[in-house]
Amino acid sequence: MTDQTAILVEGLRKSYGRHTALAGLDLSVRAGSVHGVLGPNGAGKTTAVRILSTLLSADGGRAEVLGVDVLRHPDRVRPRIGLTGQYAAVDERLTGQENLEMFGRLYRLPSRVARARAAELLERFALTEAAGRQAKTYSGGMRRRLDLAASLIMAPAVLFLDEPTTGLDPRSRQEMWRVIADLVREGTTVLLTTQYLEEADHLADRVSVIDGGRVIAEGTTDDLKRQIGGDRLEIVLAEGDDTAAAAEVLTRLGSGTATVSVEDWRVSAPVAGASVLAEVVRSFDELGLTIVDVGLHRPSLDDVFMTLTGQGATSGDVGSTAGVPAGAAPEGSGPGRKGPPAPPGQRSGGDEQDLVKA
Ligand SMILES: Nc1ncnc2c1ncn2[C@@H]1O[C@H](COP(=O)(O)OP(=O)(O)OP(=O)(O)O)[C@@H](O)[C@H]1O
Ligand SMILES: [Mg+2]
């Protein structure tokens, strides 16, 4: 592990009973970067985040955060990380100010310091006006911001964000993205899980696509897009034009076999870059082919995801609400725990082992 690596995961395994959630996960996250973990429902994203943030034990493999073995020394990792879980950690009966102060107190800050830190974070997340209101009166976006604020009480070096914008409207999502980008500028390393490909595209320096508990592709979003065939040139010809001749030209000049859609006189082919366009136009001209419409289409991360996992992901701005199971109380680091508090955002249940009590 180099000094530059903030998170290192090798062959991480976790099963719930007979069900395998992580089947040998590998991750390497450079310090100061945003790493996106992308995967369909049930891929193992939350399981990975919970192990890395010391809330869950693993069955095997290696996991290090800032050079410290998470599995062996969770207590040494905890003070240096923050977590915003998939489900809200704030206590909705408390006000925004009270919630943040409570987290500060759980981290053993003197009350005066906790109060000041709470006010500072509320200001930062544009919640000062709402500071005195119970969190249950907050909008979804305000709650997510409060959640994130709670995980920043101790200015962590590494921040885990499990689907930070699920269920938010486009504007709240953009706000959240801005806040995350600010944190990264200040040097925080962020590991972010998401189902929004647009979010990974916007925020992540590198992305790991996971499915069935292991990584199936890794790289920058551009790498991943290139991996499935680069840009696609699409040309619509005038009705009656010779599509076969056009396809021949595209196949020759492009980087793969052209396809023809006969009904709408459309031919397309993967191309290495926009530079071939001029040559295509010239060749079409010589053959007397008339171009009605032309477009260079970058494969979206959605295309990548579909190609790799064989299933679509939640893309675009249509927010789906994170389902909080019935009866799930808002949870944070409950008072009365021994030792340093676990980062906010945890949920207990299932056959998870609680490392804090262990
Ligand atoms: N406490 C648990 N007990 C039993 N099985 C579990 C438990 N938690 C998760 N699983 C199973 O492990 C697999 C991975 O779950 P995980 O929550 O890590 O997926 P995820 O990628 O976060 O999914 P989502 O996108 O829905 O949040 C799933 O098949 C899930 O059903
Ligand atoms: Mg999850």
Tell me the ligand closest to 22's alpha carbon.
1
- Compute the distance between CA of residue 212 and CA of residue 275 in angstroms, rounded to an integer: 39
Of the candidates 25, 24, 11, the residue with the CA atom closest to the CA atom of residue 191: 25
Of the candidates 301, 210, 180, 189, the residue with the CA atom closest to the CA atom of residue 27: 210
Asked which of 67-76, 119-128, 313-322 is least confident by mean pLDDT, the reply is 313-322
Question: Over 90: is that where the pLDDT of 309 sits?
Answer: no
Kindly give the distance from the C-alpha atom of residue 338 to the centroid of ligand 2, in angstroms, as a whole number.
27
For residue 351, what pLDDT band results from cuts at 50, 70 and 90? Answer: very low
Kindly give the distance from the C-alpha atom of residue 252 to the centroid of ligand 1, in angstroms, as a whole number.
47
For residue 44, what pLDDT band results from cuts at 50, 70 and 90? Answer: very high
Kindly give the distance from the C-alpha atom of residue 7 to the centroid of ligand 1, in angstroms, as a whole number.
21
CA distances from 269 to 10, 38, 262 (A): 39, 28, 14
Read off the pLDDT of residues 74-125 as tens digits, 9 standing for 90 and up: 999 998 999 988 777 889 999 999 999 999 998 889 999 999 999 999 998 8
SS3 category, 65:
strand
Q: How many CB atoms lie within 10 A of CB 39?
A: 25
Question: Over 60: is that where the pLDDT of 348 sits?
Answer: no
Residue 293 has what pLDDT?
A: 95
Asked which of 66-80, 277-291, 336-350 is least confident by mean pLDDT, the reply is 336-350
Does 26 fall in a domain? yes
Contact at 8 Å (CB) between 154 and 124?
no
Q: Are residues 172 and 211 in the same domain?
A: yes
Examine the fold and report which residue of 178, 201, 225 is the final residue of a domain before the chain moves on. Answer: 225
Does 313 fall in a domain? no
Does 315 fall in a domain? no
The CATH number given to whatever domain includes residue 256 is 3.30.70.100
On whether the pTM is more than 0.85, the answer is no
Q: Work out the end-to-end distance of the chain between its first and last CA atoms, rounded to an integer number of angstroms.
A: 28
Residue 307 has what pLDDT?
A: 67
Question: Over 90: is that where the pLDDT of 157 sits?
Answer: yes
Does 286 fall in a domain? yes
Tell me the ligand closest to 50's alpha carbon.
1
Q: How many CB atoms lie within 10 A of CB 300?
A: 16
- Compute the distance between CA of residue 300 and CA of residue 317 in angstroms, rounded to an integer: 15
Q: Are residues 220 and 294 in the same domain?
A: no
SS3 category, 54:
coil
Examine the fold and report which residue of 283, 298, 313 is the final residue of a domain before the chain moves on. Answer: 298
Question: Over 80: is that where the pLDDT of 185 sits?
Answer: yes
Q: Residue for token digits 């994170």?
A: 322
Between residues 175 and 337, which one has the greater pLDDT? 175
Q: Are residues 11 and 76 in the same domain?
A: yes
For residue 301, what pLDDT band results from cuts at 50, 70 and 90? Answer: low
Between residues 167 and 65, which one has the greater pLDDT? 65
Question: Over 50: is that where the pLDDT of 356 sits?
Answer: no
Contact at 8 Å (CB) between 231 and 298?
yes
Kindly give the distance from the C-alpha atom of residue 42 to the centroid of ligand 2, in angstroms, as a whole number.
7
Residue 3 has what pLDDT?
A: 54
Q: Are residues 149 and 260 in the same domain?
A: no
Q: Are residues 152 and 280 in the same domain?
A: no
Of the candidates 58, 56, 78, 61, the residue with the CA atom closest to the CA atom of residue 24: 61
The structural domain count of the chain equals 2
**In the chain, what percentage of residues exceed pLDDT 90?**
53
- Compute the distance between CA of residue 99 and CA of residue 45 in angstroms, rounded to an integer: 27
Does 314 fall in a domain? no
- Compute the distance between CA of residue 208 and CA of residue 37 in angstroms, rounded to an integer: 5
Residue 169 has what pLDDT?
A: 83
For residue 51, what pLDDT band results from cuts at 50, 70 and 90? Answer: very high
Mean pLDDT of the chain: 83
Atom of ligand 1 nearest to the CA of 163: 27
Mean pLDDT of 42-70: 96
Q: What is the largest CA-CA distance in the chain?
A: 81
List, chain by chain if needed, residues with CB within 6 Å of any ligand 1 atom.
16, 19, 21, 39, 41-47, 86, 195, 349-352
The CATH number given to whatever domain includes residue 41 is 3.40.50.300
Q: Range of 262's domain?
A: 229-298
Q: Are residues 37 and 158 in the same domain?
A: yes
Q: How many CB atoms lie within 10 A of CB 232?
A: 19
Q: Are residues 130 and 54 in the same domain?
A: yes
Q: Are residues 112 and 175 in the same domain?
A: yes
- Compute the distance between CA of residue 187 and CA of residue 297 in angstroms, rounded to an integer: 34
Examine the fold and report which residue of 197, 225, 253 is the final residue of a domain before the chain moves on. Answer: 225
Q: Are residues 252 and 203 in the same domain?
A: no
Atom of ligand 1 nearest to the CA of 17: 4
Does 91 fall in a domain? yes
Of the ranges 145-154, 223-232, 277-286, which is most confident?
A: 277-286
Q: Residue for token digits 């076969």?
A: 244
Residue 328 has what pLDDT?
A: 32
Residue 176 has what pLDDT?
A: 87
Q: Are residues 252 and 174 in the same domain?
A: no
Read off the pLDDT of residues 24-42 as tens digits, 9 standing for 90 and up: 999 999 999 999 999 888 9
For residue 65, what pLDDT band results from cuts at 50, 70 and 90? Answer: very high
Q: Are residues 284 and 203 in the same domain?
A: no
Kindly give the distance from the C-alpha atom of residue 196 to the centroid of ligand 2, in angstroms, as a whole number.
13
Ligand 1 pocket, mutate which of 16, 25, 41 (most atoms under 8 A from CB):
16
Q: Are residues 188 and 89 in the same domain?
A: yes
Question: Over 60: is that where the pLDDT of 357 sits?
Answer: no
| Closest C-alpha to ligand 1, atom 11 | 21
Does 165 fall in a domain? yes
Enter the tokens of residue 49. Answer: 């985040």
Contact at 8 Å (CB) between 190 and 202?
no
Count how many residues are written for the chain. 358
Residue 130 has what pLDDT?
A: 96
Does 323 fall in a domain? no
